[in-house]
Amino acid sequence: MSDNYSIVCKRCGRKLTSEVSRNRGYGSYCYSKIAKDSKKDNDLVGEVEPVERIEGQVDIYEIFKEVSGI
């Protein structure tokens, strides 16, 4: 049995009838929606362009380093 084994869909709560779906934890429709959303998220990551830094601007990483003492 896999870690994802479930008798109900983890997305919509419907009863899972196939053994493949039970092992996945999602019905076929919900699994395809999750895969589609995941692909869309991965496609968006590639579209991010670097932002031009403004003189004197502090970013969150600099604040984190200061607070944590790294």
pLDDT tens digit sequence for 42-64: 665 556 567 788 888 888 888 88
Helices H, strands E: what count in the chain?
A: 3, 0
> pLDDT grade, residue 29 (50/70/90)?
very high
Q: Enter the tokens of residue 60.
A: 């969150």
pTM, two decimals, is 0.52
CA nearest 9: which of 19, 24, 36, 38?
24
Ramachandran region, residue 25 (left: φ > 0; alpha: ψ -120 to 50; beta: rest): left
